[in-house]
Chains A and B, each alone.
Chain A
Amino acid sequence: MSRSALRILIIDENRIRAAVIEEGLREAGHGEVATIHDMTGIARPIAEIEPDVIVIDLENPNRDMLESMFQLTRAVKRPIAMFVDRTDSASTEAAIEAGVSAYVVDGLRKERIKPILDMAISRFNAFSRMARELEEARSELENRKLIDRAKGLLMKSRGLSEQEAYALLRRTAMNQNRKIAEIAQSLITAADLLGPGGDT
């Protein structure tokens, strides 16, 4: 007996990423999507959910456990295999590049699985991009704070204007072939070491 709607299980310790993928799959019309964050005792939920497709992040250290479970027919009711299509190596490579891996119940047609994998790949990529941008924004903000503090130190100790202080930092950075934020950090460290009287 075949069911019409595919049951999809997402395993990801990263809750935000799992939510991003789940949302994508639901938007694409997949109603039966479950998510598990913790791999402890995973055999029971898999037996209960009976997923047709399992999507898991490639970096998950428990993939060896998951694969060994699939090899034991006792552990899961239906045989599950890794989604591998040798005729479509580009798709396999895209999945691995994106950091996602999928397992499907034996016998499911490729046309039914491919859109799910493609969706997971694009959502994984989108999440990585988002995480990267967030990280960049965070370090940008950190750098700005450092430079502001360093400017303050220079203005106070050498009686410079804000513009002159910044120009000095920039010139020093160029001369030493380093980033302005690094020069600012060195200056702050030095001021801290030289004790009270710094701007803190």
Chain B
Amino acid sequence: MSAEVSVVPVGFLPLLDSALLVAAREVGFAAEEGIELVLVRENSWASIRDRLAVGHFAAAHMLAPMPIAFNLGLAPLAVRTIAPMALGLGGNAVTVSKSLWAEMSEEGARPDLDPASAGTALRKVLDRRNDETKLRFAVVHPHSSHNYELRYWLTACGIDPDREVELVVIPPPLMRDALAAGRIDGYCVGEPWNSSAAILGIGHIVTTKSRIWQSSPEKVLGVSEAWAMANPDTLDRLLRALYRAAKWCGDAANHAELAALLARAEYVNCPSEWLMPALTGQIQQGDGSIIAVADFFVPHDKGATFPWQSHALWFYSQMVRWGQVGASPKHELIARDSYRPDLYRRGLRSLGVALPGANAKVEGALTTAMPVGAAGASLVLGPDGFFDGKVFDPDHIVDYLAS
């Protein structure tokens, strides 16, 4: 370990899944690796992108599709960005207004977070509303898992997300106000912006990311490729610090302390009660009932920090599906190589922990938890199914898009 302390500036947005970064700094994992992790809070993903581009940040908390969009040239000003680590699995939910929930309930939606039941009911609500104004749903960014999940869910339930509803972009902390003011009817966002709406009686959580696609990617550590190439040793140390932080975040004994840390003014700046549901998986839906969702947010288990290239390729498939980028073998390679499992392994090898041997897996193939081949120790993955039973084979993207 180097005796010199490296200062690493990292940007983040006030969201629950900045947890790994916050814990790495506040619990001391970064310091143990000789890193002074300087966390800078930003207000938009655009600012994260801009400040990474001009070198203010070495790395940032990023929406998992962002590095792919950058490298495909879909974002202005972006520099080449790689994802050598994911920052956990899951963590989102879909929340609708109380009045829309009432309509959905009448059409048979069950208060059990089941995406199929909620989606079928929403379809019936749309049929009944017919020529009224379109229902409006918000996501946080066009290149976000929120956007792709919401579209996936709606489409699988027979709703055309481009024609039958309106999708808009709203920053996470402003979602709840927009819902309360009636400017939108629902949204897909990260925590604590679902739980806070449920707790304050403004919205009703209808389903979760983990129910739409179990064990699915959400945020990554996006690193400027130029910085990563110039500072390989610092990157390795950063990855080790974050891995230890992830393990700490995943330990139920630390949840209250983690919630208190994240609640602080310089981080998420909200009551710690809003953060506990996602950490414990005890989801308050908004009608007083609490539903246990064991893997609502998974910071560490199930290889949660491994940057699966099959995740990158699924995002690419959705970019193609929704017309954000043209399909081509070249684009597919750019998307795949935005995720860097090789750097993950290089950084963590010395820890002697479980490292997946493969770079990609068939998504949706594991219906139960499965021990897999891993270097160093045992690793259990899955279950990882899509709610509609479809399977994504990263070797057959064209067939997947045609299906």
> Interface of A with B (CB < 8 Å)?
40-41, 58-65, 67-69, 71, 81-82, 84, 89, 92-93, 96-97, 101
Contacts and interface: CB of A to CB of B under 8 A. Distances in A.
A62 B54 contact: no
A40 B47 CA distance: 20
Interface in B59-99: 76-77
A10 B76 CA distance: 20
Contact of A63 (B46, B53, B168, B174): B46
Contact of A65 (B54, B56, B77, B171): B171
A67 B46 contact: yes
A69 B51 CA distance: 21
A82 B77 contact: yes
A84 B79 CA distance: 12
B378 interface: no
B291 interface: no
Contacts of B142: 68, 71
A64 B140 contact: yes
A93 B54 contact: yes
B54 A60 contact: no
A65 B167 CA distance: 11
Interface of B: 43-47, 50-51, 53-54, 56, 76-77, 140-142, 168-171, 173-174, 183
A61 B169 contact: no
Given A40-B183, A60-B43, A63-B46, A84 B76 contact: yes
Contact of B47 (A41, A58, A89, A93): A58
A82 B47 CA distance: 13
B76 A63 contact: no
Nearest to A92: B54
Given A61-B43, A63-B44, A84 B171 contact: no
Contacts of B183: 40-41
**Smallest CB-CB A-B distances: 4 pairs:** A82-B76, A68-B169, A63-B46, A61-B43
Contact of B44 (A40, A61, A82, A84): A61
B58 to A, nearest CB: 16
Given A40-B183, A92-B54, A61 B173 contact: yes
A84 B46 CA distance: 13
A64 B76 contact: no
28 contacts: A41-B183, A59-B47, A60-B43, A61-B171, A62-B44, A62-B170, A62-B174, A63-B44, A63-B46, A64-B45, A64-B169, A65-B168, A65-B170, A65-B171, A67-B76, A68-B141, A68-B142, A68-B169, A69-B169, A71-B142, A82-B76, A82-B77, A84-B76, A84-B77, A92-B54, A96-B56, A97-B54, A101-B46
A68 B171 CA distance: 12
A101 B54 CA distance: 13
A69 B168 CA distance: 8
Contacts of A84: 76-77
Given A84-B77, A96-B51, A65 B43 contact: no
Contacts of A67: 46, 76
Given A62-B44, A96-B50, A101-B46, 11 more contacts: A40-B183, A41-B183, A62-B170, A63-B43, A63-B47, A64-B46, A65-B168, A68-B141, A71-B142, A84-B77, A101-B50
Nearest to B46: A63
Nearest to A83: B76
Nearest to B74: A71
Contacts of B76: 67, 81-82, 84
Contacts of B140: 64
Contacts of A40: 183
Contacts of A71: 142
A101 B168 CA distance: 21
A60 B50 contact: no
A61 B141 contact: no
B50 A64 contact: no
Contact of A64 (B51, B77, B141): B141
B347 to A, nearest CB: 29
B48 to A, nearest CB: 10
A59 B43 contact: yes
B66 to A, nearest CB: 11
A197 to B, nearest CB: 36
Contacts of A89: 54
Contacts of A62: 44, 170-171, 174
Contacts of A69: 169
A68 B169 CA distance: 7
Nearest to B51: A96
A60 B173 CA distance: 12
* Of A40, A64, A84, most B-chain CB atoms within 10 Å: A64
A158 B220 CA distance: 62
A97 B53 CA distance: 12
Nearest to A99: B47
A143 B53 CA distance: 40
B268 to A, nearest CB: 14
Contacts of A65: 168-171
A69 to B, nearest CB: 8
Contacts of A81: 76
A64 B54 contact: no
A64 B56 contact: no
Contacts of B56: 96
A82 B44 CA distance: 15
A22 B169 CA distance: 28
Nearest to B178: A40
Contacts of B50: 58, 96, 101
